[in-house]
Structure 1
Amino acid sequence: QEPGATLEEITNGMKHVRPGKGFEPNFPLYKKIETNGKGQHPLYEYLKSACPSTSSKFYRTSRLFYEPLDGRDIRWNFEKFLVDGNGKPFKRIHPNQLPSTMEKDVALLVQRLRENATTATNAATTAATTEEAPTANATAIPRILPFPFFPISGFT
């Protein structure tokens, strides 16, 4: 949906048109990628394969610029994916749902991360006292990544 073909065109559009007035983002932007169709990026193929679509219908198929259509396709820009601390897709959120509706799910994933971190710390402590090597999980840094971070699904 974003008219800019390159990252430079997109950032110039932001700077001079919308929102304009010399705006420069203070967050990372990446080049545009395909989220659906033959040329879809592997990340979106992975996310869509792990979470069912939020809609069973395609609206205005005459306005779609890709083929083939797939029931798992992203239907609109503001569709979101919530990914757990291990990179596993947890939930797909409908475009009309505000990010604030994800609060309980994010809290659940944070709780799981804390529990896993505690378990990993305890395992590392036990390993250190028994002279065993700690597991890789003992040093993992937990994180929550709502995805996409930007409200436009074509940006990653």
Structure 2
Amino acid sequence: MLPGMNALLEKYSSVGVVGLGFPSNQFKLQQPGTESEVLPCYQYVRPGGNWTPHDEFHVFGILDVNGRLAHRLFKSLKDSCPGFSSTIGSKSVLYWEEITTADITWNFGKFLVDVNGNPRYRFGPSVPFEEIYPYVDELIAERDAAQP
């Protein structure tokens, strides 16, 4: 998935699109360690191969995206873009309490936010970045049409 984000930004960063990544350890404990270990893990382990983020892909520290301790950004995103599945997953691999159908279901859940900061679209973790391109195009066209 991370190479897909880089490809999306290669295509769209010249028109102002940026990517924000928020690692979470709430899904099968797949993001253990400290914040200083996040980028080296991506570079050498998953996806590995010396992967580095695109200049416009900003990776933040590890945080909770679900449950009582979810970061307020993710509470807001989920309120604006409701869940799309009534099935979240097995409690044995989910590490938060108060599981709801609005929760992010796994790593690499994606949200598109417009130029005004309004969350507009939500995509599940298995949706390839290429399938998001038409929605990015739509938001860019809206932005450009609104400019004088």
Using structure 1 for the length normalisation, give the TM-score: 0.65
1:2 counterpart = 2:30: yes
Query: Percent identity at matched positions?
Result: 31
User: Residue 11 of structure 1 corresponds to which residue in structure 2?
Assistant: 39
Q: Quote the residue 1:116 is aligned against.
A: 146
Equivalent position to 2:100, from 62, 65, 70: 70
8 Å contact kept, 1:47–1:81: yes
For residue 105 of structure 1, the aligned residue among 119, 132, 135 is 135
> Which residues of 2 match residues 2-151 of structure 1 at below 5 A?
2-14=30-42, 17-18=45-46, 25=53, 27=55, 28-118=58-148
Gaps of 5+ in 2: 1-28
Distance of 1:20 and 1:84 partners within structure 2: 31
Deviation at 1:20, TM superposition (A): 5.5
Aligned length: 118
Deviations 1:98-126 (A, max 9, x none): 111122221111111011112xxxxxxxx
Q: 1:24 to 1:100 in 2, by over 3 A?
A: closer
Structure 1 residue ranges without an equivalent (≥5): 119-156
* Compared CA separation, residues 22 and 51, structure 1 to 2 (3 A): closer
Deviation at residue 22 of structure 1 after TM alignment? 6.6
Deviation at 1:11, TM superposition (A): 3.3
SS in 1 for 2:147: helix
Are the aligned partners of 1:4 and 1:13 in contact in 2 as well (CA < 8 Å)? no
Contact 2:88 2:103 in 1 (8 A): no
